[in-house]
């Protein structure tokens, strides 16, 4: 392959077609990870793509195969994810480039420090007329293991809402304030957290998480005056998700009113769900079956580069089983036989495009 690093730091290798003017199929995933993570999230998809090219054993196809190792997907440093794939899709705009990390360094500054030129980011954008994009990725959850199957075809990537909900009451002495005189912000927040779990359990396919609560003043003998809670809601249907969020906001208001509290809700993210390409989904399902494995479709609850690339070209994902359902953890792993299943399916997918 001809290998290069583009202006966003994406590592790219092109395996040429037998026809220089041919269209291009992109394979890839991300190279970065999170603190205290494992070795397979993202990187496995890049290694599988390289292995597929190796398995061609020099056979040239009627289309170019370009592998992309995206430089940044997780959003750890700058608080915004998909820097690499946004550049690839042509959506890395000036406001995003001005985002700064905890040390005050902007994305543009970081690109320059790496020895690249952010003014040349347009050259990182994928060319027009691409055949599409295929991403291999570990599931990062327990579904495939519970079904005892190695692979799943991703039909959509869930939409996501993120909010901060702040309950405000009155601090007072924990020993001298009778229970019926209290305006306990944390107690109101705790009731609402339970309502979040109840709401999510009542809707098929929904997950909702309160992953962070900050309490003030935070003393053992003081009734909490403030409780700030995060909210993360995900579902493949944007209407279902947004309606659930609206109900949870209403429930927070009702709890606050009944307890003599005030509540404020700040919306930080409203990421629409992204459907994968129907033609690629069908082809992947056929190739999984032809490789001798059970066919299973599923929705991804996690975000992936494919949801960004899908704005520019047809995109698809193939999940591999995550033993123990573990990811973003040092114990994250993958089974060798599942890697073999993914490679067999991937080769057949390339052959299917070749014969189309």
Whether the CB-CB separation of 139 and 322 falls below 8 Å is answered with yes
Q: Which two tokens stand for residue 182?
A: 């209290």
In CATH terms, 2-157+274-355 corresponds, of 3.40.50.150, 3.40.50.300, 3.40.50.280, 3.40.630.10, to: 3.40.630.10
- Which run of H or of E encompasses 2? strand 2-5
**pLDDT tens-place string over residues 237-253:** 999 999 999 999 999 99
Q: Rounded to whole angstroms, how far apart are CA atoms 95 and 151?
A: 38
- Which run of H or of E encompasses 48? helix 43-55
Q: Rounded to whole angstroms, how far apart are CA atoms 338 and 332?
A: 14
Q: Rounded to whole angstroms, how far apart are CA atoms 33 and 101?
A: 16
Q: Rounded to whole angstroms, how far apart are CA atoms 72 and 81?
A: 7
- Which run of H or of E encompasses 38? none
Give me the pLDDT at residue 113, please: 97
Q: Rounded to whole angstroms, how far apart are CA atoms 249 and 139?
A: 31
Give me the pLDDT at residue 204, please: 95
Domain boundaries, the chain: 2-157+274-355, 159-271
Count CB atoms within 10 A of the CB of residue 47.
Answer: 16
Give me the pLDDT at residue 79, please: 87
Whether the CB-CB separation of 253 and 244 falls below 8 Å is answered with no
Q: Which two tokens stand for residue 75?
A: 């959003």
Q: Which residues of the chain have pLDDT under 70?
A: none
Give me the pLDDT at residue 80, please: 87
- Which run of H or of E encompasses 163? strand 159-168
Give me the pLDDT at residue 133, please: 98
Fold of 159-271: Alpha-Beta Plaits (3.30.70)
Taking every pair of Cα atoms in the chain, the longest distance, rounded to a whole number of angstroms, is 83
Burial class (CB in 10 A: 0-12, 13-18, 19+), 183: buried
DSSP summary character for residue 186: H
Q: Rounded to whole angstroms, how far apart are CA atoms 99 and 78?
A: 6
Expressed in percent and rounded to 5, the helix, strand and coil fractions of the chain are: 35, 25, 40
DSSP summary character for residue 100: B
């Amino acid at each position: 392959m001809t290998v290069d690093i583009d202006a966003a730091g994406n590592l790219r290798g092109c395996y040429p077609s037998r026809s220089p003017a041919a269209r291009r199929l992109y394979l890839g995933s991300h190279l970065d990870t999170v603190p205290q993570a494992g070795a397979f999230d993202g990187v496995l998809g890049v290694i599988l793509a390289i292995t597929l090219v190796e398995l061609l054993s020099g056979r040239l196809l009627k289309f170019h195969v370009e592998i992309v190792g995206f430089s940044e997907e997780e959003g750890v440093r700058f608080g915004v994810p998909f820097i690499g794939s946004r550049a690839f899709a042509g959506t890395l705009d000036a406001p995003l480039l001005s985002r700064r990390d905890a040390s005050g360094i902007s994305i543009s500054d970081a690109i320059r420090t790496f020895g690249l030129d952010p003014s040349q980011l347009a050259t990182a954008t994928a060319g027009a007329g691409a055949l599409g994009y295929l991403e291999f990725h570990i599931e990062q959850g327990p579904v495939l293991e519970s079904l005892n199957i190695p692979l799943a075809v991703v039909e959509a990537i869930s939409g996501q809402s993120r909010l901060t909900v702040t309950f405000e009451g009155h601090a007072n002495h924990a020993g001298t304030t009778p229970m019926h005189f209290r305006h306990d912000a944390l107690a109101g927040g705790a009731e609402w957290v339970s309502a979040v779990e109840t709401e999510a359990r009542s809707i098929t396919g929904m997950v909702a998480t309160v992953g962070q609560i900050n309490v003030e003043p935070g003393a053992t003998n003081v009734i909490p005056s403030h409780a700030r809670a995060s909210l993360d809601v995900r579902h493949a249907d944007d209407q279902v998700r947004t309606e659930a969020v609206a109900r949870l906001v209403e429930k927070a208001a009702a709890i606050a009113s009944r307890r003599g509290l005030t509540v404020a809700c700040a919306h930080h993210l409203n990421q629409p769900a992204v459907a994968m390409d129907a033609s690629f989904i069908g082809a992947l399902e056929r190739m999984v079956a032809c490789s001798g494995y059970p066919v299973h479709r599923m929705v991804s609850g996690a975000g992936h580069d494919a949801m960004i690339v899908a704005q520019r070209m047809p995109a698809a994902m193939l999940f591999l089983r995550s033993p123990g359902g573990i990811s973003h953890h040092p114990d994250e792993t993958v089974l060798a036989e599942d890697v073999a299943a993914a490679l067999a399916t991937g080769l057949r997918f390339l052959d299917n495009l070749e014969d189309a």
